[in-house]
Copies of this chain bind each other. A is one copy, B any other.
Amino acid sequence: MMHPRSVAIIGASNTRGKVGHIILQNYLDAGFDGKLYPVNIKGDKQILGIKAYKSVLGIKANIDLAVIAIPAEGVPMAMEQCGKAGVKSTIVVSGGFSEVGATDLQDRLAAIAKKYNMPTLGPNCLGVMDPRSRSDTLFLPSFKLDKPRIGGVSFAAQSGAVGSTVLDLISNEGFGLARFISYGNAAVVDEVDILHYLANDKDTKVIVFYIEGVKRGREFIEMVKRTTRVKPVIVIKGGTTPAGATAAHSHTAALAGSNEAYSAVFRQFGVVQADDISDVLHYAKVLDTQPATTGNRVAIITNGGGTGVLATDALYRNGLVLPELSKESKETLKRMMPSTVNITLPLDLVGDADDKRFSDALGVVSADPNVDALMVIALFQTPGADSRVAETLIHYGTQSPKPLVVVSIGGSYTLAHKNMIESSGVPVYDSPGSAASSLAALIRYGQYRHRVGTL
């Protein structure tokens, strides 16, 4: 199902706007270089310029993946044909199954998948996006959704809406996607299977999961426990409040379960819990790029005093500590810094700080034994802050063995530098609060890994 070399699209169409048209067109637009087999019962000779088939049975070639995008009532027959043709896996994007009460139809689909031992995603899902192989079954108009770059974060979601919006958000951040999996009704492949796959996927460094409820709760927890020993799992769970749980039940018939129970188990097994969609991105980018640590002493370096004060408050609120610099560091800094710089943390480099001053401060502070991690506030509105300051932050953020996050707040000039820094592997936040909560997530996860003996 992932990195397929040959894909049949059942329901492919020459008619603009049809789901099967969008999917085939997206494969072509993405430059997919495997084999494509459009399948349409109407018997078109060609679809979008490619030889078409009436049924997968006519293809007579190895098919890694069949994407099924036809009305629900036709899906069982198409699945049977896939099974007979030896198709390796299927993704059923069609809706009209258990989510509208048609559980019988869904059961038939599941039975066929099992009979042929054919992994099947869906129904009622967006399917997968696998940027390395350029396999992409999302049937959203491509102009509405920015495409993410290739990277280490995998994202799995029951909900197509949450999935596609997060995908679109990720595309505008400086980190990249490993796999996107929207699994819908989970008739066959479910949360446990997906987590198992991602835990063993070498391209996936960070796993993000949106769930409302899980079908095999015990197995899911067991899989979470095994996974968090080796890579971070960020969970955003819908239905964590009583009203939300009712809404979740109405949405996917998920039994959201007791939030306290979930939350306690997640905490016990090192899951990074996100409450809001924005948190998911904040946590993913630091876990994807920055080294693990178990220490919670965070040094703040800033070129704007007031922002340093707010950042100190934010550290404290997130259970982190602003340390004292060592005597040696203070003496060295005193020699290096102008008299306007007060040698204490938060270290305020003041408004005329340039790359030299940032570099001097970062060199000393990142080597200080009292410091476990760094938050650098670089306000690009000030006269001395430019792309050389950004280069300096990239250097320390990628070379230092201690985690480093950047806070840069502002408009277009700032965003240009944010993009430069982040696409080089150093996370940038637009407020001290999100930077502090992200560092706290990284540190708590490091402490968990240390506790279970894998760090």
Interface status of A306 (Cβ within 8 A of chain B): yes
Q: Which residues 282-316 of A sit at the B interface, judged by CB distance below 8 A?
A: 302-310, 312-316
Q: Is the CB of A305 within 8 A of B252?
A: yes
In the complex, residue of chain B having the shortest beta-carbon distance to the beta carbon of A254: B309
Q: Which of chain B's residues have a CB closer than 8 A to the CB of A433?
A: 275-279
Q: Is the CB of A277 within 8 A of B432?
A: yes
Interface status of A250 (Cβ within 8 A of chain B): yes
A242, A244, A317, A340 — most chain B CB neighbours (10 Å): A244
Q: Is the CB of B141 within 8 A of A383?
A: yes
CA distance A47 to B146 in the complex (A): 49
Interface status of A152 (Cβ within 8 A of chain B): no
Task: Choose from B146, B304, B321, B431 the contact partner of A276 (Cβ within 8 Å).
Answer: B431
Known A-B contacts A243-B322, A244-B316, A277-B310; A342 and B250 likewise in contact (beta carbons under 8 Å)? yes
Known A-B contacts A100-B340, A243-B316, A381-B145; A162 and B306 likewise in contact (beta carbons under 8 Å)? yes
Known A-B contacts A243-B312, A244-B310, A305-B159; A165 and B379 likewise in contact (beta carbons under 8 Å)? yes
Q: Which of chain B's residues have a CB closer than 8 A to the CB of A268?
A: none
Q: Is the CB of A161 within 8 A of B411?
A: no
CA distance A252 to B350 in the complex (A): 12
Q: For chain A, give the interface size range.
A: 35 or more
* Interface locus among A105-113, A168-176, A223-231, A355-363: A168-176
A250, A306, A340, A348 — most chain B CB neighbours (10 Å): A306
In the complex, residue of chain B having the shortest beta-carbon distance to the beta carbon of A278: B431
Distance to closest chain B CB from A137 (angstroms): 15
Task: Choose from B169, B251, B278, B309 the contact partner of A251 (Cβ within 8 Å).
Answer: B309
CA distance A251 to B314 in the complex (A): 16
Interface status of A164 (Cβ within 8 A of chain B): yes
Distance to closest chain B CB from A433 (angstroms): 3
Distance to closest chain B CB from A212 (angstroms): 6
Task: Choose from B161, B212, B313 the contact partner of A239 (Cβ within 8 Å).
Answer: B313
Interface status of A401 (Cβ within 8 A of chain B): no
Task: Choose from B100, B168, B348, B434 the contact partner of A381 (Cβ within 8 Å).
Answer: B168
Interface status of A241 (Cβ within 8 A of chain B): yes
Interface status of A144 (Cβ within 8 A of chain B): yes
Q: Which of chain B's residues have a CB closer than 8 A to the CB of A207?
A: none
What sequence of 0s and 1s flags, for each residue 415-431 of chain A, a beta carbon within 8 Å of any chain B beta carbon?
Answer: 00000000000000011
Q: Is the CB of A413 within 8 A of B145?
A: yes
Q: Is the CB of B244 within 8 A of A169?
A: no
Interface status of A409 (Cβ within 8 A of chain B): yes
Interface status of A155 (Cβ within 8 A of chain B): no
Q: Is the CB of A146 within 8 A of B278?
A: no
Task: Choose from B143, B240, B346, B383 the contact partner of A313 (Cβ within 8 Å).
Answer: B240
CA distance A380 to B314 in the complex (A): 33
What sequence of 0s and 1s flags, for each residue 348-391 of chain A, a beta carbon within 8 Å of any chain B beta carbon?
Answer: 10010000000000000000000000000001111101000000
Q: Is the CB of B412 within 8 A of A306?
A: no
In the complex, residue of chain B having the shortest beta-carbon distance to the beta carbon of A412: B146
Q: Is the CB of A145 within 8 A of B410?
A: yes
Interface status of A119 (Cβ within 8 A of chain B): no
Task: Give the top 10 A-B pairs by smallest Cβ distance, nearest first.
Answer: A161-B304, A159-B306, A276-B433, A244-B313, A146-B411, A238-B309, A168-B410, A241-B316, A162-B306, A165-B409
